[in-house]
Amino acid sequence: MNKSKIWFDRPADRWEEAIPIGNGTLGGMVFGKVDIERIQLNEDSLWYGGPMDRNNPDALEHLNEIRELVFAGRIREAEGLAARVLIGVPDGQRHYEPVGDLYLDSGLSDANVEAYRRELDLEQGIVRVTYSADRATYLREFFSSYPDQVMAVRLTSSLQGSLSFSMLFGRGSVLEPTPWSDILKHPVGFHAYLDRIGTNAQGDMIIRGRSGGEGGIRFCCAIRMVVEGGRLVDTGRQLRVEQADAATILVAACTDFRVSKEDMEAECVRRLDRAAAKSYEQLRADHISDYRSLIGRVELSLQGNDAVHSLSELPTDLRLERIRAGSEDPDLVGLYFQFGRYLLISSSRPGSLPANLQGIWNKDMLPIWDSKYTININTQMNYWPAESCNLSECHGPLFDFIERLRVRGRETAEVMYGCRGFVAHHNSDIWADTAPQDVCITSTFWTMGAAWLCLHLWDHYEYGRDVEFLRQAYGTMKDAALFLLDFLVEDPQDQLVTCPSSSPENRYVLPNGESGALCYGPSMDSQIIRELFGHCIKSSEILQEDLEFAETLRKALERVPQPAIGKYGQIQEWSIDYEELEPGHRHISHLFALHPGTQIAMKTTPELAVAARTTLERRLKHGGGHTGWSRAWILNMWARLEEAELAHDNLMELLRSSTLPNLFCDHPPFQIDGNFGGTAGIAEMLLQSHSGEIHLLPALPGAWPHGRVRGLKARGGFEVDIEWRDGRLLSGTIRAVRQGSCAVSYQGKTIELAFSEPGLPIRVEANHWKV
């Protein structure tokens, strides 16, 4: 009964205990309260304000001066000048806002119910709440349907005519833990951010409002109550259901980001009409089949040595407590993995915006870090599992976003730097804003956001080998490379480096004891450039176009620094082997080449791999990994270094120290990147393909002696199933999307497989490698 379920035996008291649902655009957090149910609602395109031109017109004329100051070691002055002329004006981008909260006031008391249960069914993508009270058993189901673009809430009772409740909508600040009855009965600011609430001729509740700021985005939310038995009373402020057998609530929402403001209400009602024309069973079945077509591609089962089958009978928050107390629970790791895939399916679907810092789930009018796109690690991490975990369609919203960045980023490149191509700094927002964000020396003056994002285009090609996709994506990759070609300058060693820049978001210490952040040629930048230029060169070979440009890139690459080893035997973070101000910094930017990059690998660059290991040890010794995403990155890096136990320790630490009761990643506070990084890391422990071969079980820890995984993806267009027992490979099954061959390695030995027919599986066992 509990297989593939995250479940709790009590309602959520706090938002961080609620369960997320979503269809890429329309998201909800389900609290499961009996007395007053709360579903906190989001629509991915509801953001504060309109687009702004923040490109700083003073930047270009001061660029050379800043560069000269950096090269002369006059860092203080360089930083002072940059903080005046290289910042965006205004210095901040737009932020994400919630739609509001839907409340269902049943009049029952939480205290009087029995057999309470709240669950997320990961096989169906449905949240359920069940309980008994007064001889009746109640069931609520919640999901956000992608095919029908509505959220559905279904309430039933086993006792005819026993369902009575009021539905209210609020948009204001909710204090937690919340005496919700107070909110509903003595509402202060309950409708603080609404323009209109009322019913249309059909009896749908229609809510309209708009975010603040110039050109603030307008939204409409329409809610229909379909009642079976009993009656529906419209009291203006609320819809009241009396003595019904069942009720289905359908929610539609849109904004004028996608729909004209005149048409928003009609569009919402159209969606409701279409969904209501189906029976609830049909609506649900269509949701499940859509969701299953994605979630069902990968299955993971991890088993420890002791057969602790009964652990799934424990509520998920208690299982997490056990882990915190030092116990193992491989099955929960499997759930966590699938939950990460669930979150990507729920927050990033074709047509939606990319998953932001909180996916799509945000309750605050001014959320932490604006709940936007931080592109010096966080947004990229969101998409780490997209390809390897067989959800490549969910990667699409990021590609659409990159195209929009390209338009805005060309302007920023030209106005601020006098360069061709396109640039993005370390943040962006709904408007694909590319100008610098904040006035923060450690992060603001970093120009590699677009280049890094473009590596995702190449990855998508690598996993799927769709040449048509590459043909379209190449121009974008080239544009990112063009910016860098123009932006690179000669350093004192005659190398080509970025300047000014920083190693996100660390500082170095100068020999005179002063600290700085602004620098030239931080290792991460050169690593990203090597990766991007390399992919552009390969693309031009595959596509047989632009060979001259490829030659220019090749020439430039000869002068772009390679990863260097510093005085501690570590990978150098800056082009000069400075001391780090924070040796335990959460960002480990200089190991980009190890992960997600591919320039440092066990097989191809063993010396650099040793240095990468030293770097990680050093970061960890000084307290690194203290945020959720940092821990998740470390997990992926240890997996790449084939350090199974260290990867596993860090995964467990992610669960122990950086995971909320509902399994959301805790930066703190909630930030979704660690969920996605954690999911990708688990896949990376079982299968790798970054070194030109498919590597089976590269980092299998002792805690998972038995298990199997079905449907992981490998670069080159392969799908892989693996089964193991007693820590040893039983079988690997590989399917290819097209004819061809691949190298498959296990425990240091490699064999070649030839695929004569696409889709035809080839099965291998450990003795094929004679290990």
Report in angstroms how near the CB of residue 379 gets to ligand FUC at its nearest.
10
Strands (E), 93-162: 100-105, 114-121, 126-133, 136-145, 150-157
478 binds ligand FUC (CB under 6 A): no
The residue among 378 and 380 lying less far from ligand FUC, judged by its C-beta, is 378
Contacts of 398 (CB under 8 A, 6+ apart): 348, 354, 379, 382, 383, 386, 453, 456
Which residues within the stretch 41-60 sit at the binding site for ligand FUC (CB under 6 A)? none
Report in angstroms how near the CB of residue 376 gets to ligand FUC at its nearest.
6
Q: What CA–CA distances, in Å, run from 620 to 334, 505, 590, 703?
A: 26, 16, 14, 22
The residue among 631 and 713 lying less far from ligand FUC, judged by its C-beta, is 631
670 binds ligand FUC (CB under 6 A): no
- In the chain, how many H helices and how many E strands? 18, 32
Strand, coil or helix: what is 688? strand
662: closest CA among 127, 2, 4, 7? 7
Report in angstroms how near the CB of residue 338 gets to ligand FUC at its nearest.
24
The residue among 267 and 505 lying less far from ligand FUC, judged by its C-beta, is 505
Token pair 């999911």: residue: 679
Report in angstroms how near the CB of residue 628 gets to ligand FUC at its nearest.
9
Report in angstroms how near the CB of residue 585 gets to ligand FUC at its nearest.
9
Residues binding ligand FUC: number (CB under 6 A): 12
586 binds ligand FUC (CB under 6 A): yes
Report in angstroms how near the CB of residue 383 gets to ligand FUC at its nearest.
15
690 binds ligand FUC (CB under 6 A): no
Contact pick of 103, 190, 369, 533 for ligand FUC (by CB under 6 A): 369
The residue among 444 and 495 lying less far from ligand FUC, judged by its C-beta, is 444
Beta 762-764 vs 706-714: how paired, if at all?
unpaired
Residue 451 phi, psi dihedral angles, 5° rounding: -60, -45
The residue among 43 and 582 lying less far from ligand FUC, judged by its C-beta, is 582
The residue among 155 and 357 lying less far from ligand FUC, judged by its C-beta, is 357
Report in angstroms how near the CB of residue 353 gets to ligand FUC at its nearest.
17
Q: Is the distance from CB of 600 to CB of 615 less than 8 angstroms?
A: no
The residue among 92 and 187 lying less far from ligand FUC, judged by its C-beta, is 92
627 binds ligand FUC (CB under 6 A): yes
382 binds ligand FUC (CB under 6 A): no
End-to-end C-alpha distance for the chain, whole angstroms: 40
Find out whether the peptide bond into 20 is cis, omega within 30 degrees of 0. no
The residue among 117 and 667 lying less far from ligand FUC, judged by its C-beta, is 667
User: In angstroms, rounded to a whole number, what is the distance separating the alpha carbons of residues 435 and 56?
Assistant: 8
425 binds ligand FUC (CB under 6 A): no
431 binds ligand FUC (CB under 6 A): no
The two three-digit tokens of residue 654, written as one number: 């992610």
DSSP conformational letter for 342:
H
Report in angstroms how near the CB of residue 438 gets to ligand FUC at its nearest.
9
Contact pick of 35, 44, 119, 505 for ligand FUC (by CB under 6 A): 505
444 binds ligand FUC (CB under 6 A): no
Which residues within the stretch 61-120 sit at the binding site for ligand FUC (CB under 6 A)? none
The two three-digit tokens of residue 188, written as one number: 């202060």
User: In angstroms, rounded to a whole number, what is the distance separating the alpha carbons of residues 332 and 14?
Assistant: 22
378 binds ligand FUC (CB under 6 A): yes
650 binds ligand FUC (CB under 6 A): no
Contacts of 411 (CB under 8 A, 6+ apart): 53, 55, 434
Contacts of 661 (CB under 8 A, 6+ apart): 8, 16, 17, 316, 317, 320
371 binds ligand FUC (CB under 6 A): no
DSSP conformational letter for 599:
S
The residue among 146 and 574 lying less far from ligand FUC, judged by its C-beta, is 574
User: In angstroms, rounded to a whole number, what is the distance separating the alpha carbons of residues 169 and 101?
Assistant: 6
636 binds ligand FUC (CB under 6 A): no
User: In angstroms, rounded to a whole number, what is the distance separating the alpha carbons of residues 96 and 48?
Assistant: 6
Report in angstroms how near the CB of residue 382 gets to ligand FUC at its nearest.
12
Report in angstroms how near the CB of residue 96 gets to ligand FUC at its nearest.
12
Judge residue 137's burial from the number of C-beta atoms within 10 Å of its C-beta, 0-12 exposed, 13-18 middle, 19 or more buried. Answer: middle
Q: What CA–CA distances, in Å, run from 140 to 129, 277, 385, 593?
A: 5, 21, 31, 48
Report in angstroms how near the CB of residue 442 gets to ligand FUC at its nearest.
9
Report in angstroms how near the CB of residue 149 gets to ligand FUC at its nearest.
29
Burial 242-252 (b: 16+ CB within 10 A, else e): eebbbbbbbbb
DSSP H stretches of helix in 260-377: 264-276, 280-295, 316-324, 330-347
Token pair 């035997």: residue: 569
357 binds ligand FUC (CB under 6 A): yes
374 binds ligand FUC (CB under 6 A): yes
Which amino acid is present at 84?
Answer: R
The residue among 425 and 667 lying less far from ligand FUC, judged by its C-beta, is 667
The residue among 125 and 677 lying less far from ligand FUC, judged by its C-beta, is 677
Report in angstroms how near the CB of residue 669 gets to ligand FUC at its nearest.
10
Report in angstroms how near the CB of residue 504 gets to ligand FUC at its nearest.
7
Report in angstroms how near the CB of residue 367 gets to ligand FUC at its nearest.
10
Q: DSSP letters of 539-573?
A: HHHHHT--HHHHHHHHHHHTTSPPP-B-TTSSBPS
The residue among 392 and 671 lying less far from ligand FUC, judged by its C-beta, is 671
379 binds ligand FUC (CB under 6 A): no
Token pair 């309430």: residue: 155
The residue among 2 and 380 lying less far from ligand FUC, judged by its C-beta, is 380
Interface ranges with ligand FUC (CB under 6 A):
357, 369, 374, 378, 443, 505, 586-587, 627, 629, 667, 671
